[in-house]
């Protein structure tokens, strides 16, 4: 077993940096056209409607993806996500600075949302809401 691992390591280890050359048929740096091209993805941002986080995420997603829209996380349904490739689940900040400067959990900023059990789209869970949603949904089963 150890001999096999040593052989694999020897084969995969590059001989020297000088021996490596970039492919001749590709540019070594991306072109402006390649950088301007958006990913062919439709992304649904499910979060706190009207929040600063929603505005910033939508600006980012719209600049990078072919299509990006938002929905209130509490109103996320399989039907709302049907026309999208992926869902990003988020919420507004869950921790606020207390009087002593330490961060405290803000129970008033709750969402009370779970993911619908019939939702079959990939979901990216962001921030504290990710753990909350995972505990109260089918993701917690994994």
Q: Please tell me the predicted confidence (pLDDT) of residue 129.
A: 79
* % of residues, the chain, pLDDT over 90: 35
Domain ranges of the chain: 42-141
Which residue in 7, 3, 78 sits closest to 46, CA to CA? Answer: 78
> Tell me, what DSSP letter sits at residue 49?
T
pLDDT of 12 over the 60 cut: no
Question: Which secondary structure element, helix H or strand E, spans residue 105, and what is its range?
Answer: strand 103-105
Q: Please tell me the predicted confidence (pLDDT) of residue 62.
A: 95
Interval 63-109: pLDDT, tens: 999 999 999 998 999 999 999 999 999 987 766 777 777 766 555 55
Report pTM: 0.66
How high does pLDDT run on average in the chain?
75
């Amino acid at each position: 077993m150890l001999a096999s691992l040593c052989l694999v390591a020897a084969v995969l280890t590059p001989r020297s940096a000088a021996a490596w050359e970039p492919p001749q048929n590709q540019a070594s740096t991306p072109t402006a056209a390649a950088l301007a091209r958006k990913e062919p993805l439709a992304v649904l941002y499910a979060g706190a409607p009207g929040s600063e986080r929603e505005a910033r995420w939508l600006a980012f997603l719209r600049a990078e993806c072919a299509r990006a829209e938002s929905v209130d996380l509490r109103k996320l349904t399989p039907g709302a996500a049907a026309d999208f490739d992926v869902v990003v689940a988020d919420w507004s900040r869950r921790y606020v600075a207390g009087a002593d400067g330490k961060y405290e959990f803000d129970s008033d900023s709750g969402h009370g949302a779970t993911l619908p059990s019939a939702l079959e789209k990939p979901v990216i869970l962001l921030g504290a809401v990710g753990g909350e949603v995972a505990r109260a949904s089918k993701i917690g089963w994994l």
